[in-house]
């Protein structure tokens, strides 16, 4: 009986944390002006908010007799891998469409994190297209 009561408090805590992060992320998605700042809010909700909700689900399934559940761990692993990658791709699309402020140029190398091709590699790209 004592384990169930303690587990209920932990489940309630993690549900509250997940709900707060989801609420703040939803408000941030609506409140921010451009797409690059809007991108920040849902990625945090996807990792921290949903992660907290999944932790609550894991504690509940263990405390109330279902045993440990591996499904939540797999969902967390999938979210933690895919959320940063999808956010990176969305940010790249926004930058290349030039619908946001262009980031400052790199200080030491002009080809780093851009689509510029170094002079030494330009002859290879011409032969591949032909």
In this prediction, residue 128 has a pLDDT band, given cuts at 50, 70 and 90, of low
In this prediction, residue 12 has a pLDDT band, given cuts at 50, 70 and 90, of very high
Where does residue 103 fall: left (phi above 0), alpha (psi -120 to 50 degrees), or beta otherwise?
Answer: beta
Mean of pLDDT over the chain: 81
Predicted confidence (pLDDT) per residue in 102-123, tens digit? 767 666 665 666 666 667 777 7
Predicted confidence (pLDDT) per residue in 28-81, tens digit? 888 888 777 778 777 777 788 989 999 999 998 888 877 777 888 899 889 888
Position 97 pLDDT exceeds 60: yes
Helix (H, G, I), strand (E, B) or coil at 113: coil
Query: Two tokens at 54?
Result: 């999944």
C-beta separation of 45 from 30 below 8 A: no
C-beta separation of 17 from 52 below 8 A: yes
Q: Which pLDDT does position 11 carry in this prediction? A: 95
What's the pTM?
0.68
Q: Which pLDDT does position 114 carry in this prediction? A: 63
* CA–CA dist 23, 12 (Å, integer): 16
* CA–CA dist 57, 46 (Å, integer): 16
């Amino acid at each position: 009986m004592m384990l169930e009561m303690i587990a209920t408090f932990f489940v309630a805590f993690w549900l509250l944390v997940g709900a707060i992060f989801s609420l703040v992320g939803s408000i941030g998605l609506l409140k921010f002006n451009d797409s690059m700042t809007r991108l920040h809010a849902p990625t945090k909700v996807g990792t921290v908010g949903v992660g907290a909700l999944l932790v609550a689900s894991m504690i509940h399934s263990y405390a109330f007799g279902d045993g440990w559940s591996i499904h939540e761990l797999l969902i967390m692993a999938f979210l933690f891998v895919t959320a940063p990658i999808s956010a990176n791709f969305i940010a790249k699309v926004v930058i290349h469409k030039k619908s946001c402020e262009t980031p400052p140029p790199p200080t030491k190398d002009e080809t780093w994190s851009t689509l510029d091709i170094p002079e030494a590699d330009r002859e290879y790209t011409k032969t591949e297209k032909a």
